[in-house]
Chains A and B, each alone.
Chain A
Amino acid sequence: MHRLYLVPTLIINFVIVLVPALLTVVLAFCNWDGISTPTFSGLDNFRALFADGVFWSALTNNIIWTCIFLVVPIAMGLLAASMLLLVRRGSNFFQVVYFLPVVIATVITARVWQGMIYSPVTGLFGLLSRMGLPLANPLAQPSTALFGVATVDLWHWWGFLCVIFFAALRQVPQEHIEAARIEGANYGQMMRYVLLPAIRPTIMLMMIMTVIWSFLAFDFVYILTQGGPAFSSEVLSTLAYRHAFYDLNVGQAAAAALVISLFGLVGTFFYVRLQTQEGEQ
């Protein structure tokens, strides 16, 4: 009888995720505009994709994005979380403030940064350049567009990591911290020899998730720059989306989706292993 309990979850999952995912694998080897009958085209989609310079720059952007997010928000989160552990008084207030950007919809966050900060007309950057500090809108320059978008996602994201690291740090046994303190450890030594090793599994998990999420990054790129200017901020997910819904080249979109999934798969392997290790105990 108990196996029936799983049925609703699995039916919904199969219909929405599994079956379409398998169809995507098939479509990657087909020529399809979304309307007519798909025709088998072998590796054509992949050939076209790999011959497209935009694909390689999108892939490079995903890798740059991953590197940024593996370092900056994790460092910010760890620094703030360790400070929260130190001060204790007010830590809850700061935690809630840091988490606020996480609960605000991505569209709203994107528009606030676009209009109120980056805009040369209505934003802070415009005000500062009128006052003589030349600040160009980063989203309008091919060389800075990706970083302009990444900054917005960083603002939206680092508080989440801080809250998670703080939760992990609070579970570090008190005796370990006291012992290090009696030995005369300073902040740096405390971090390096006691706190960081103690929350290593959590940091590992967050790094794996960062790699997976970095290849899924979509909302901010799509809303802020649509991948532009001149594809300079294009990432794989916006490239796939554009192929499917703007060019009606669903086969090639499916091929790009498979490339994204391939990177995700490596992360997923480590993620599942880490998560189930804990389940075994």
Chain B
Amino acid sequence: MKTTHVIAALTAGLTLSACATGGAPAKEAPKLAQPSAAAKLSGKIEIWSWDVAAKALQRLAPEFEKEHPGVEVDVRDIGYDNAYDKITVGLKSGSGLPDVITLEDTAIAGYAENFPGGLVDLTPVAAKYKADFDPAKWAAASNAKGLYALPWDSAPVGLFYRRDYFQQAGVDPESVATWDDLVKAGEKIKQATGKRLFVSDLTNPAAFTTLLQQLGQGYVKNGEVAVASPAAVRALTLLKTLKDKDLLQNEKGWDGRVSATKQGKAATQPTAAWWTGTLTGEMPELSGKFGVIPLPAFDPGGARTSANGGSALSITAQTRNQDLAWAFMEWLLAGKDRQVSMMRTESLFPAYLPALADPYFDEPQPYFGGQKVNRLFADQVRHIPPVELSGDDKQAEELLKKAVPGVLLNGADPRTALDEAARQLAAATERKVAS
């Protein structure tokens, strides 16, 4: 999602490969036993989280403690930037982890695959909630063997746009339904205002990944390498078209994107719902200038959203109080009250679908000129295309960090560049290339 994330992931990977010794965790994930209904909750659990997620836990844990006298929920804010270093070392050494940890969706598959037995399989107790959650997030939390996390917040992607630029160019944002429409609109806007279409870090494959998910695919498909699939070629070709028409504002990393947006360098930004928090927090002076439409589709009638970010809660196999850990997670995430409360207070967009019907989502947002942007994103959550995630995604990302800039900055052919990446990934991971 941003450079620091990538660095953290990288160091995590590095630590992982550098550690020759370490504890040997059980090979099979322990399954969470169905707690007997009569059992009274007691004892203490510790939860690691970060950022606003930690704030939400710290705010709500006392409520849970009040409902269940005698239990203690200890929330630790371990900071986001190097959280995965702590978690990786804890899993590797088989000690030092708390009962419950926060994981981003993109991290779950890697930990479930590389540390079998490190995270508890929630299937026995959580399976009944499957239909109630964002399907893309449910897919991200599970693999063929089990379910390793309970989804927390969703990150539906839409297209933020500058109302003033669209007006100046005489483009009706509601008329933009497909990427072809947007490319044409972008050319018109550039002519009228001199502004490019959106900010993208061309050295980073993140935009490519988001588009690929919109097309319903991850880096692997049925266990086979799919970074050179027709969908992948299509996603990268779209970016190349935008680049060739000089519609991409190339800025380095997260800070580059924030400052370019603040300076009004681009007319749109395809990104997730949490971007509203960045806009209102970092650039309050631009209030009234932004609007949101669903992401343009690749084909008319196709998915008009994707995902970028979002996290979940996992129970570690090191826990001594599984029942309490699960009871708290269930209370927090698999219900309307807390999910809506966390949306209102911490802007954590619920992955729990029934919560999205709450009237809060229908409130007009003054920053967006009175538009009901939360309703727009809420309606997209159930349409986020689920994709297959794997423990080799980090490696795929490293290869794409060469392939994507090769195409966008050095003019390589998308198919050739992706074929090469697929070949290398297959060789490194002993997977087959999907035909």
A binds B: no
Chain B residues with CB under 8 Å of chain A are none
